Amino acid sequence: MFSTNVFGFRQQVDEYLPFLYFVSTLLFVWFLTKFLYRPTGNKNLPPSPPKLPILGNLYQLNALTHRSLQSLAKKYGPLMLLHFGNKPTLIVSSADVAKEIMKTRDLIFANKPDSSVTKRLLYDGKDVSVAPYGEYWRQLKSIFVLQLLSNNRVQSFHSIREEETALLMKKVSRLVSETSSPVNLSEMFASLANDVVCRAALGRKYSEERNEKKFLYLLREISELLANVSVGEFIPWLSWIDRVSGFKARVDKVAKELDEFLEGVIQGSLDSGQDQNGSTDNFLDILTKIYKDNTLGVSIDRDSIKGILVDVFVGGTDTTSTVLEWAMTELLRHPIIMDKLQNEVRGILNGKQNIADNDLEKMLLLKAVIKETLRYHSSIPFLARITGQDVQIMGYDIAAGTMIIINSWAIGRDPESWEESGKFQPERFLNSSIDFKGLDFQMIPFGAGRRRCPGIGFAMATIEFALASIVQKFDWKLPNGEKEEDLDMTEHPGITVHRKKPLLAVATQYCF
């Protein structure tokens, strides 16, 4: 039966041979026109590496996309046009081009690309980070800037930072006195960042100790799903792969569980009537008050509250712990800088156990170490935008709807902007006015322009406090006599780029 079928097939082929020749010639011509000959008309397109049918330039990227795009940019320049599947994508890798997009032409590039995954997990653009630029986004952003993350509000969370950092120090002390095992700093920083954000956002912790792992699990899932590439996004006719692989079902499950969790949290806040006793010191209370009373003249619904809370957790936890993780990694690799930093911190505190905000103001090397960490290890490697209209950038024609990826990781390491760009040298910031607030485009770890991160003050307060405490109270070295230059620096890809292997270090209590 099998051979008959083969024969039958062969016969059919012979019969239809002239027709098949005709069709394949047509396909060949179509292929040439579509992929090899690119009709650009009078358009001046940015340089592009060669692309493949269907995949476009996806085949040239590896898991550490920020690094593969940096390599391509070395060959094709700071503005190149790639195709991710069928999506034209402009890759920006220099401070000048980034400034053109996020400052000079900010308005044209004020929108963020969305995807089926962000829509599902971020309440269909009702959060701030992917909401279309317009009145709704403006209202939400002003809630972030003026209500949730104002300077006064950040200061009011001082006791949360103090208590949570003290708990971390206690954990380290206990480990030091009870065992000689190294401290897993990556794990400690992750739980510190999570607990600080949780208390500021929801007024309480949802940590492992309290046996409330569900929320932590959901947060981990969201970060992973947002970092994952949905095949259908870039190659629409392959979107069935997302269904067959179970990716879509996983997104739906997490979205549903997250919604149930956040509904419960919001209802709890509404039921407890926080607004009546005037105690509105966590984000949830502030948001439910705005929702109920419409006091700010801003109307938000329950999905807006949920979207904002997801932004706070996704935007504020992993980012913060990643900065701490890379800062300690670099300090362990550079013992002389570690020594100088400890002298500065211990000198300013002069035996005092509690760190006040004005002590931190005096710690110039501490600030320089954090800046250098943000330059060298931009924790969110990419800033994303989408063009609203046809536009010219640096003399090149960019079509409406083109996705823009600004490689802020590569910009922070660009030798055109930085001397000895590949070296960790915090001292470069001691006599420099360059900052990370989005005005100096050679360093944009928090983004820039209208879409700039509103959480800089909150994040810096947590990072400075934790880093000062940890180098004040303990001396640190690598475990098992490991040499500084042998410390594994491999990165793990994701929305934030953190260490692949957890950072382990041996602590010794410092005697005051």
The residue ranges that bind ligand HEM (CB under 6 A) are 128-129, 141, 144, 149, 311-312, 315-316, 319-320, 323, 379-380, 383, 445-448, 451-455, 458-459
Q: Which residues pair with 396 in a beta bridge?
A: 393
Residue nearest to ligand HEM (CB): 447
Q: Which residues pair with 84 in a beta bridge?
A: 56, 87
Rounded to a whole number of angstroms, the minimum distance from the CB of residue 370 to ligand HEM is 9
Which CB sits closer to ligand HEM, 232 or 320? Answer: 320
Q: Residue 364 Cβ, how far from ligand HEM at the closest point, in Å?
A: 19
Q: Which is nearer to ligand HEM, 51 or 199 (CB)?
A: 199
Residue ranges of the annotated binding site for heme are 453
For residue 52, the cross-strand partners are 56
Q: Which residues are annotated as a binding site?
A: 453
Half-sphere exposure for 502 (CA within 13 Å, toward CB):
12
Shortest distance in whole angstroms from residue 494 CB to ligand HEM: 13
Nearest to 298 by CA among 141, 452, 149: 141
Task: Count the alpha carbons within 13 Å of 408 in the hemisphere toward its beta carbon.
Answer: 28
Q: Which is nearer to ligand HEM, 219 or 448 (CB)?
A: 448
Give the residue with the Cβ less far from ligand HEM, 193 or 507.
Answer: 193
Tell which residue, 402, 351, 373, 330, has the closest CA to residue 109.
Answer: 402
By beta-carbon proximity to ligand HEM, the closer residue of 450 and 477 is: 450
Rounded CA gap, 49 and 61, in Å? 12
Nearer to ligand HEM among residue 363 and residue 478 (C-beta): 363
Nearer to ligand HEM (CB atom), residue 114 or residue 275:
114
SS3 of 52, please?
strand
Q: Is-contact 495 314, C-beta < 8 A?
A: yes
**Rounded (10°) angle between helices 213-227 and 302-316:** 80
Residue among 312 and 471 whose Cβ is closer to ligand HEM:
312
d(CA 384, CA 185) in angstroms, rounded, equals 30
Least distance from ligand HEM to the Cβ atom of residue 448, Å: 6
CA nearest neighbour of 149 among 102, 197, 187, 186: 197
User: DSSP state, 483?
Assistant: -
Q: How far is the CB of 276 from ligand HEM (least distance, A)?
A: 26
Q: How far apart are CA 30 and CA 272, in angstroms?
A: 66
Contacts of residues 164-171 at CB distance under 8 Å and 24 or more positions apart, as own/partner, are: 164/192, 164/195, 164/196, 164/199, 165/192, 165/465, 165/466, 165/469, 166/469, 167/195, 168/192, 168/466, 168/469, 168/470, 169/469, 169/470, 169/473
Per DSSP bridges, beta strands 491-492 and 498-499 are: antiparallel
Q: How far is the CB of 26 from ligand HEM (least distance, A)?
A: 45
Shortest Å, Cβ 439 to ligand HEM: 12
Burial class (CB in 10 A: 0-12, 13-18, 19+), 304: buried
Yes or no: say if 274 and 288 are a contact pair by the CB < 8 Å rule. yes
Q: Work out how close the CB of 301 gets to ligand HEM at its nearest, in angstroms, rounded to a whole number.
A: 18
Q: Please report how close the Cβ of residue 271 comes to ligand HEM at its closest, in angstroms.
A: 25
Structure tokens, 423:
């070296």
Q: Letter for the amino acid at 361?
A: E
Q: Judged by CB, which is closer to ligand HEM: 172, or 453?
A: 453
